[in-house]
Amino acid sequence: MDKKEILDKTKQFIFKSFNGESTGHDYYHIERVVKMAAFIAEKENADLFTVELAAWLHDVGDHKLNGGIDKSKEMISHFLSGINVPDTAIASVTEIVSQVSFSKGKTAETMEAKIVQDADRLDAIGAMGLVRVFTYGGSKSRELYHPDDLSKPTTINHFYDKLLRLKDLMNTPTARRIAEDRHQYMEDFLQRFYQEWEVIV
Ligand code: NI
């Protein structure tokens, strides 16, 4: 199987697994991460095939989507060996995916992992970040905002706990540049949110 066929089969597998997912990690999130990762990979001269393959698979088996248990390594290996991808390539993809997640707290070491991580993080900020954070908050029955208790895990607090920190965590210059613009969009949104919350007209 050539590289294009592997990517096509992977895309089909991801569509089947994630289509209709409703917490913000749906098929189209993954498709955007693949496009963004490919864009960054070209700018940074990284290996495009490895980046695209890892980007397609980056949310497979994620603990958030599997009742708190991380099954990514076994699920990715199972899928890729089923389409006859060589063991060495499987090992490199599972290693990249294990370095991508924010919550696992790992550092992205390879260039490919840095790029997929940047692409995933870019999809968590800007307008896309806004819609996804409210969707995710809704799926967890989180309060929107609590002006008298800022320690509560509200959706607005999630901006401060995570989203507004992502700009400074980007690995590549290309992602850093895109993040600046998306970050500003969220700052503008929050300013407007507080203004409307206080009914300042
Ligand atoms: Ni993701």
Say how far apart CA 52 and CA 12 lie, in whole Å: 14
Q: How confident is the model at residue 67, as a pLDDT?
A: 76
User: 128 C-alpha vs ligand 1 centroid, how far in Å?
Assistant: 12
Instruction: Determine the distance separating the centroid of ligand 1 and the alpha carbon of 31, expressed in angstroms.
Output: 10
Q: How far is the CA of 198 from the centre of ligand 1 (A)?
A: 34
pLDDT value, residue 12: 98
Task: Inform me whether the pLDDT recorded for 106 exceeds 80.
Answer: no
Going from the Cα of 186 to the center of ligand 1, the distance in angstroms, rounded, reads: 19
Check residue 102 and give its pLDDT. 59
pLDDT digits (tens, 9 = 90+) for 15-64: 999 998 887 789 999 999 999 999 999 999 999 999 999 999 999 998 77
- Confidence check: pLDDT of 65 > 80: no
Question: For the chain, how far is it from start to end, CA to CA, in angstroms?
Answer: 61
Task: Give the pLDDT of residue 105.
Answer: 66
67 CA distance to ligand 1 middle (Å):
16
Distance 24 CA to ligand 1 centre (A): 9
What's the whole-model pTM score? Answer: 0.92
| 76-101: pLDDT as tens digits | 999 999 999 999 999 999 999 999 87
Q: How far is the CA of 59 from the centre of ligand 1 (A)?
A: 5
Separation of 195 CA from ligand 1 center, angstroms?
31
* Cβ proximity of 184 and 192 under 8 Å: no
Rounded distance from Cα 171 to ligand 1 centre (Å): 16
The pLDDT tens digits of the residues spanning 121-178 come to: 999 999 999 999 999 899 899 999 999 988 899 999 999 999 999 999 999 999 999 9
